[in-house]
Amino acid sequence: MLRDHAKLAFKNLRNRLSRSLLTLLGIAIGIMAIISLLALGEGMQQAVTGELSSLSDVIIVSAGGNMFSSFGGGGSTGEYFTQRDITDIQRIQGIKEVSTQLSGSGLAEYNGKTTIISLTGMEVSVMKLQYASQNLESGGFLNEGEQNNIMIGNSIAHDTFDADISVGGRIKINGQKFFVSGIFGKQGFGGSSSDNIILMSSRDFKKLTGQSNISLIYLRVNNVNDAESIATTIQNAINENHGKKDFATATTMTSILKTVQNIIGILQLVLVGIASIALVVASIGIMNTMLTSVMERTREIGIMKAIGATTRDIMSIFIIEGALMSSVGGIIGIILGVFGSQALTLILRSFMSMGGTSFQLSPIITITTVVLAITVSLIVGILSSLYPAWKAARMSPIEAVRYE
């Protein structure tokens, strides 16, 4: 029975081909927009997850509030950890290794110009980990055991001094010579952090400044599952040491990951919400087309009723027609969405490469997305043909047969 209805519906659509195509184009565009945005969002989620999950056993402890202000090695908040904090942390069970990031400032001189610059010292191994996602403009990371080598941010290399600094160049810091072994690529928007830094090994930093102002502590845990509880323990211990409730913030990569994923999720929801407006418009289009079709086929409906079609038969024929139209639109939309998401990614990538990030983004269309798209288009088709179908079914066979 349903097959017969579907056959009738299909023939009607084919009979009004250009109108059907135009109507389903609306659905196709709506679904394309949704698919593209979902694919992009999914791609972003996965890229971020991939980037961060390799660091899932890392806990970052920062002094004085929000760790994001110091994440990336930029500014210091003026509050530092003490040696006692480090010792306390080392005593906690389940921690594999602890390393620190030191912050301070010094007088840098190059090509006859002197300026005050913030200095960051950290273990070379941590350095690679922390800046792993950043492009290098030239040179490479510091090597374990090297002395008097530094890495510099892009602005320091090109903007701070009168002349550009290149790899192998010499900068005097507090009167001592350092060789530039690597220059970071320009971070641009959202990541000013590494543009203005001078990065050196902890040993050089201590030797140079005579200070050991610890602004950040990195540690790795043995078991990723313990990360959250260890983070809490550390936070409590350090806060107690300093007699402040919110002196330290211990953040696990997992929680950063969750935050980032949440942000992307919300962003995705908003974008998809906007794209859904296209679907609403498309569903009005279907309703309009179906109403026209009902009017045009008044006679046909009457004939079918006269030869024994029930209200249900007529409703079913028209609803299937709407559903067929929109699900074909949905399938076309999915195909277009595959291309759309690729195009969108290319555009985004070119933006990001301007920003100098090596972040690898590619769109991901999951089975769930496809199923969702088909379901949504089916539902849109059914809902928007309900009223036209009801109108058709309600027609009296006499009126309809008499209709010219």
Partner 1 sequence: MSKDVIVTENISKTYGKPPLQVFALRETNLRIKQGDYIAIIGPSGSGKSTLMNLLGCLDKPTSGNIFIDGSDVSKLNENELARIRREKIGFIFQKYNLIPTLNALENVELSMGFAGVDSQTRTKKAKQLLELVELSKRLTHKPSELSGGEQQRVAIARALANNPSIILADEPTGNVDTKSGENIMQILENVNKKGETIIIVTHNMAIAQRAKRVLRIQDGEVQEEHA
Residues of the shown chain interacting with partner 1 in the complex, contacts defined by CB under 8 A = 1, 3-4, 8, 11-12, 14-15, 299-300, 303-313, 396-398, 401
Q: Classify burial at 294, counting beta carbons within 10 Å of its beta carbon; exposed 0-12, middle 13-18, buried 19 or more.
A: buried
In angstroms, how far apart are the furthest CA atoms of the chain? Answer: 104
Find the shortest distance in angstroms from Cβ 8 to partner 1.
Answer: 8
Residue 19 or 206 having the CB closest to partner 1: 19
* Min dist. Cβ of residue 306 to partner 1 (A): 5
By beta-carbon proximity to partner 1, the closer residue of 1 and 116 is: 1
Backbone angles phi, psi at 52, to 5 degrees: -90, -25
Tokens read off for 44: 């972003």
Strand partners, 98: 219
Place of tokens 């394309």: 32
On whether the CB atoms of residues 303 and 400 are closer than 8 A, the answer is: yes
Q: What is the helix (H) or strand (E) element at residue 4, kind and residue range?
A: helix 2-15
**Smallest gap from residue 19 Cβ to partner 1 (A):** 14
CB-CB contact of 252 with 234 (8 Å): no
Name the minimum Å distance from CB 12 to partner 1. Answer: 6
Helix (H) or strand (E) holding 113, with range, is: strand 113-122
Which CB, 295 or 306, lies closer to partner 1? 306
Closest distance of CB 396 from partner 1, Å: 8
- Which residue do the tokens 């000013």 mark? 192
Q: Which is nearer to partner 1, 44 or 393 (CB)?
A: 393
The candidate with the shortest Cα–Cα distance to 62, out of 205, 247, 285, 190, is 247
- Nearest approach in angstroms of CB 302 to partner 1 is 8
Q: How far apart are CA 66 and CA 77, in angstroms?
A: 10
Q: Which is nearer to partner 1, 244 or 394 (CB)?
A: 394
